[in-house]
Structure 1
């Protein structure tokens, strides 16, 4: 009987976690600037987000960090001399946030070394996946991809760019065809690509 009771508590807690998402989170507005700290398997680095560069992107990033979406995320795509890309592999969280895409915005701040922008696959598909530019990538400011021009940067690495540059890049784009496996079975994906670096925790340091 005792074990049944404990089992009930576990199920209840799991149910509470699943029900925790609230759609009002997706309307939270970020401050005009804020500092974010990434604690990773390679060390820590800080990013300054500037809302006026891409207000909707800055807001969504703020929301995702406040609600712990990037904790335990992988840098699943690191292409030398190009970008380091990350995003959550927690399917429960992804399913809740997925319907809340953010509209497209014009590029104001350049895709320069250390800047951050949301990845996308077409019109109004920015959602959770973010990349950090490992070099100046002016082509990303103007390229038209699936009907949308440019990737709007919304922040810059202000401390610890050496940590970002040290992220494991030995797989390059080889992880991308296997990305579906990351969502189906994270452990198997990591077993296939054991060198990938992990984001342990992301925190907002200053509003």
Structure 2
């Protein structure tokens, strides 16, 4: 009957969907409480406004960090994220989500530090932190040898294996450091306003167009 068809359409439009089918869980707004173990190694292709670069993540370097990256990449977290802090001969940082609601969820989902097993040499990738055990989603590529970060507890979780000189070194760096030491993007405003803030005030920032796990390997046990 027409009434039944209309009722089903209304239910679907309101998110109810067909009877007996659970609504699809958004992995960013409703993260899975079970931490999935990442492969021993996996390669992620970051397609950016400057072109693609590839990062090999190595779980033996930082197991907790690798597990977090694997979940975020497979959930599409890094798509459309801006490289909001690019400081030549230091770091290129990204990983604050463009949606403030997603940022609010993830800013409280900290996870414990990994021991530093590898040096922060040029091309390695580490999580940004605000102190011990405060890692969440933000990553940075070391644009130079940053050995002092080893002593501060920044544990590399992977390394750029393609596109470092051609792409990562070319990311827009004209805005400089953020407040209070510079006039670049303010991370508090970024968390609260998302990409709308960056598009309005820092339109030249490069960003990630898409991410994809292009290969993965699990070692024999």
TM-score > 0.5 by shorter chain: yes
Equivalence for 1:131: 140
Distance in structure 1 (CA, Å) of the matches to 2:211 and 2:155: 21
| 2:110/2:135 contact within 8 Å kept | yes
Distance in structure 1 (CA, Å) of the matches to 2:42 and 2:33: 18
Aligned partner (choices 152, 177, 181) of residue 173 of structure 1: 177
Q: Structure 1 residues 96 and 170 mapped into 2: Cα distance closer, same or farther (>3 Å)?
A: same
Equivalence for 1:41: 49
Deviations 1:74-118 (A, max 9, x none): 101001110000012322223333333111121111111111000
Distance in structure 1 (CA, Å) of the matches to 2:191 and 2:62: 28
| 2:185/2:198 contact within 8 Å kept | no
Distance in structure 1 (CA, Å) of the matches to 2:59 and 2:211: 18
Equivalence for 2:91: 83
Equivalence for 2:3: none
Indicate whether 1:163 and 2:186 are aligned: no
Q: Structure 1 residues 117 and 193 mapped into 2: Cα distance closer, same or farther (>3 Å)?
A: same
| 2:112/2:135 contact within 8 Å kept | yes
| 1:32/1:52 contact within 8 Å kept | yes
SS in 1 for 2:83: strand
| 2:43/2:55 contact within 8 Å kept | yes
Equivalence for 1:12: 15
Distance in structure 1 (CA, Å) of the matches to 2:198 and 2:94: 14
* Unmatched tracts of structure 1, length 5 or more: 144-149
TM-score (norm 1): 0.85
Larger gyration radius, structure 1 or structure 2: 2
Equivalence for 2:199: 190
Distance in structure 1 (CA, Å) of the matches to 2:192 and 2:114: 32
Indicate whether 1:121 and 2:120 are aligned: no
The CA deviation at 1:176 is: 5.2
* Unmatched tracts of structure 2, length 5 or more: 1-7, 17-22, 217-221
More helix by share: 1
